[in-house]
Amino acid sequence: MFSRYFPSSKLSTFLPCFRTFERFSSRKPPKSPQLIYASNLRINTLARAGKIQSARKVFDEMSQRDVVSWNSMITAYWQNGYLNESKKFFVSMPERTIVSWNSMIAGCVENDCIDDAYMYFSTMPERNISSWNAMVSGYVKHGMVEEAARLFNEMPKKNVISYTAMIDGYMEKGEIDKARSLFDRMPQKNEVSWTVMISGYVENECFDEAKDLFQNMPAKNKNVVAMTAMVVGYCKEGRVEEGRILFDGILSKDSVAYNAMISGYAQNGRSEEALKLLVEMLRMSLRPDQTSCASILSACAALASPVAGRQTHAIVVKLGADSNVSACNALITMYSKCGSIFECELAFELITSPDLVSWNTIITAFAQHGLYEKAVAFLEQMVLRGCEPDGITFLSLLSACAHAGLVSQSVSWFDSMMKNYKITPRPEHYACLIDILGRAGQLDKAYNIIQELPFEADLAAWGAVLAGCRAHSNVELGKLVGEKVMELGGDSSGPYIMLSNIYAEAGMWGEVTRVRGLMKEHGIRKQPAYSWTEIENKVHYFLGGDISHPNIQEIRTALKQMNLQMKFHEKVLDFTEFYFQDELKYTCNLDAL
């Protein structure tokens, strides 16, 4: 085409110029750092939001990429659970940096492929301190502390992250002395190092050491995490007031601090304070976690407050935790304690994959309400769905038998537990079976079981026989068992009162005087019983013998009317028979499970 404009003699002169022009025009446009940076940033943002396909689309549409682009996609894939895609990208990378190798190590660790992580670590051409730290932390995360220590000792250079990771590993394994020795040898410490050490002490039940270390911690390092760890420690020790003082001293409280204090209140029976703190937390626009929700539900159960329980249930649903197994288990317990057995079953149905605790919780709920048939039905479902019952399951079934007075069935379940499921009965199983036999009047059989126990009978077992002796007026056995129960009973007034009542019913007033004298001699006084009920969000407490309630006259009138109606229907109960029953906790007490 050029021959039309240039003579052939001149063509050779211009041809090199045209070839140069052609060479430059065929080159790719130069990279735009701003465009690449913006695309890389977009990939990271989408990946953090879980939009991995959109991130990949941005990557594919990039006309030019740098190594950061590739590293971003590798990290994006493993952070969203697609480790194999990360591996494919890593293999196809045009060039790799230490960051690329370190990302693969971190991805394998996060996706529980610790052997693959070590493979990348051992084959990478060069390592930096981040490579070593990633591998040491990975071993610690997977409980492989010895392997972590071996790598730690081989490290050519260590920093505060290296030391802190190993301290955390030793604390997780319970090797407190090794952790402290390493902590003391650290060339420099930061707030994370101090916090890991304090938290480790708290988790390993070494609160005094945690407290001493916290007091020696530099003021600049006393952050919310360290202070929260100490709040947990105080609550574990039952020193809730001191924990609250420290909690109040946290200037910028986060949701973790609130959750720790709420759980501390609930675990120490301070249910009302736990509920109040939850309200304060919500007013601060902070979000309770699933553990905190479970603690609050436990607090509602302890108060037997269905109103507060339903309000907390609404919060759980709003937070999206209503499908969480722990929260649902707590819901079942709460509704059971509040007497709402129908809602227990509804809460159980929310769980897509019930675990052993879930099954035991619902079976226990039906057992506590005397619904033997329902308890057995759920046991059958449990076995059909491949969940093996444990000792708690059978304790619940025995309790259901106790409530329903089913003696033969209780013996059958006890035998099945040992023969079919190879579960060794614990003292509480024997105590429950003895209680059932005692209630049914089979006192000799109950006493013989105690004599044949493979271990020393505890207070619960002896107390169950004593309760049976009282119920069936067996003075002879009651005297024998009562002396044993008083010997084991310590400061409890229950055994003395029970034995005294047995003697009183038999007209043995001299023995009554002797037992009452023993109570006085040992300084034992009967603890007054109390009950409570909730009306219009207000809890009313009633102490035995107390007439100070402002509505006592109306209450007495209502009780008289109820008594008249019961007499009319010939269903009068002799309440004196049960007056002292609450004093002894010898029956199958599942509340502590």
Which H or E element spans position 86?
Answer: helix 83-92
Q: Which of 247, 237, 314 is nearest to 274 (CA)?
A: 247
For the chain, state the CA radius of gyration: 35
Distance CA 241, CA 235 (A): 8
Residue 222's contacts (CB-CB under 8 Å, 6 or more residues apart) are 191, 214
pLDDT in tens, the chain (593 residues): 444 433 444 434 434 443 443 444 444 444 577 888 899 899 989 988 889 999 999 998 888 889 999 999 999 999 999 999 999 989 999 999 999 999 999 999 999 999 999 999 999 999 999 999 999 999 999 999 999 999 999 999 999 999 999 999 999 999 999 999 999 999 989 989 999 999 999 999 999 999 999 999 988 878 898 999 999 999 999 999 999 999 999 988 998 999 999 999 988 988 889 888 988 998 888 888 777 788 888 888 887 778 888 888 888 888 777 777 888 888 899 999 888 899 999 989 988 889 999 999 999 999 999 899 999 999 999 999 999 999 999 999 999 999 888 999 999 999 999 999 999 999 999 999 999 998 888 988 998 998 888 888 888 888 888 888 888 888 888 888 887 877 776 667 777 777 788 888 878 888 888 878 877 776 677 666 667 676 766 767 777 667 778 888 888 888 888 888 877 665 444 443 433 344 334 344 444 34
Residue 74's contacts (CB-CB under 8 Å, 6 or more residues apart) are 86, 89, 90, 100, 103, 104, 107
Distance CA 267, CA 319 (A): 22
Q: Which residue has the tokens 């941005």?
A: 58
Which residues lie across from 541 on neighbouring strands? 532
Q: What pLDDT score was predicted for residue 530?
A: 66
For 224-265, what is the HEC assignment?
HHHHHHHHHHHHHCCCHHHHHHHHHCCCCCCHHHHHHHHHHH
Distance CA 483, CA 196 (A): 52
- DSSP for 496-548 reads HHHHHHHHHHTT-HHHHHHHHHHHHHTT--PPPPEEEEEETTEEEEEETT---
Q: What pLDDT score was predicted for residue 489?
A: 63
For 479-493, what is the HEC assignment?
HHHHHHHHHHHCCCC
Residue 580's contacts (CB-CB under 8 Å, 6 or more residues apart) are 494, 497, 498, 501
Residue 581 identity: Q
